[in-house]
């Protein structure tokens, strides 16, 4: 089973614990938390989550500032963000969406309904659900193919191997986000860039191997 990776960002420990407890019974979610916006920016690059739950009001770097930096970085720009806020004003919610948020979840929330509410923001869980299984089968096949091509990187890889790696990475970079897995899309885009750099003589095979490893770690069944 593939998991939806969620990065939870809130400077209140009690709130992070409450959200993690509400989501933990659902095996679809894998949650990692951060206590600040600064920490979240680092985690978003390293972990490439599929969705970020982001508190609006935080010290040092608030939610809107975090979104602006995420959108300015091509490594994190595709990751959807859902704001967590105690504000119930519709005008403020529209402002948050204008900043680039996929939506808003109002605090306090009903823990029994939180997982269902989050699923509304996941493409693979609503309109694309009927074809998601086909994508997941294809994802498993692509992961196996990348594992096989990776074995060639210890020596000088053939042009055919690099072409196949580039094709798979480029395809997943587009499809991952479409099906709600933005983290897979980001990791695939990084692999595509590494493969193209190697073909152009600007990178070493080890960089492509590391990018493949990061993508394969991100894909879990």
- Which pLDDT tens digit goes with each residue over 168-183? 999 999 889 888 899 9
What is the overall mean pLDDT for the chain? 90
pLDDT at 127 over 60: no
On whether the CB atoms of residues 186 and 217 are closer than 8 A, the answer is no
Q: Distance between CA 217 and CA 184 in Å, rounded? A: 10
% of the chain exceeding 70 in pLDDT:
95
Residue located via tokens 């105690």? 86
Residue located via tokens 């770097």? 61
pLDDT at 124 over 80: no
pTM of the model: 0.85
pLDDT at 156 over 80: no
Q: Where do the structural domains in the chain lie, given as residue ranges? A: 4-121, 130-218
Cβ atoms within 10 Å of 94's Cβ, excluding its own: 11
Chain centroid offset of residue 47 CA: 8
- Which pLDDT tens digit goes with each residue over 44-84? 999 999 999 999 999 889 999 999 999 999 999 999 999 99
For residue 199, what pLDDT is reported? 87
Q: Distance between CA 143 and CA 52 in Å, rounded? A: 25
Q: Distance between CA 8 and CA 15 in Å, rounded? A: 10
- Which pLDDT tens digit goes with each residue over 157-216? 788 888 999 999 999 998 898 888 999 999 999 999 999 999 888 989 999 999 999 999
For residue 129, what pLDDT is reported? 65
For 47-77, the DSSP string reads: H--SEEEEES--SSS-HHHHHHHHHHSTTTT
For residue 111, what pLDDT is reported? 92
pLDDT at 126 over 80: no
Mean pLDDT computed over 104-117: 92
Q: Distance between CA 170 and CA 199 in Å, rounded? A: 15
For residue 161, what pLDDT is reported? 86
For residue 60, what pLDDT is reported? 87
Long-range contacts of 162-168 (CB under 8 A, 24+ apart): 162/195, 162/198, 162/199, 162/208, 165/191, 165/195, 165/208, 165/212, 166/192, 166/195, 166/196, 166/199, 168/142
Mean pLDDT computed over 16-38: 95
Quick one: fold of 130-218?
Answer: 1.20.120
Answer with the residue of higher pLDDT: 151 or 188: 188
Domain 4-121 bears CATH identifier 3.40.50.2300: yes
């Amino acid at each position: 089973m593939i998991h939806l990776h969620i990065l939870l960002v809130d400077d209140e420990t009690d709130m992070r614990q409450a959200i993690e407890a509400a989501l933990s019974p659902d095996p679809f979610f894998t949650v990692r938390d951060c206590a600040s916006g600064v920490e979240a920016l680092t985690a978003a690059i390293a972990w490439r989550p599929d969705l970020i739950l982001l508190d609006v009001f935080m010290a040092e770097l608030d939610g809107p500032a975090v979104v602006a930096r995420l959108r300015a970085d091509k490594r994190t720009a595709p990751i959807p963000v859902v704001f967590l806020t105690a504000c119930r004003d519709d005008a403020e919610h529209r402002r948050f969406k204008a900043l680039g948020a996929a939506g808003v979840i109002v605090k306090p929330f009903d823990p029994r309904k939180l997982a269902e509410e989050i699923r509304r923001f996941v493409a693979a869980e609503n309109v694309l659900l009927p074809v998601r299984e086909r994508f997941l089968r294809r994802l498993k096949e692509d992961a196996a193919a990348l594992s096989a091509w990776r074995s060639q990187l210890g020596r000088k890889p053939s042009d055919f191997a690099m072409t196949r790696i580039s094709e798979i990475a480029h395809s997943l970079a587009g499809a991952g986000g479409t099906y709600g897995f933005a983290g897979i899309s980001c990791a695939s885009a990084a692999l595509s860039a590494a493969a193209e750099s190697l073909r152009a003589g600007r990178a070493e095979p080890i960089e492509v191997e590391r990018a493949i490893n990061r993508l394969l770690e991100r894909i879990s069944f």
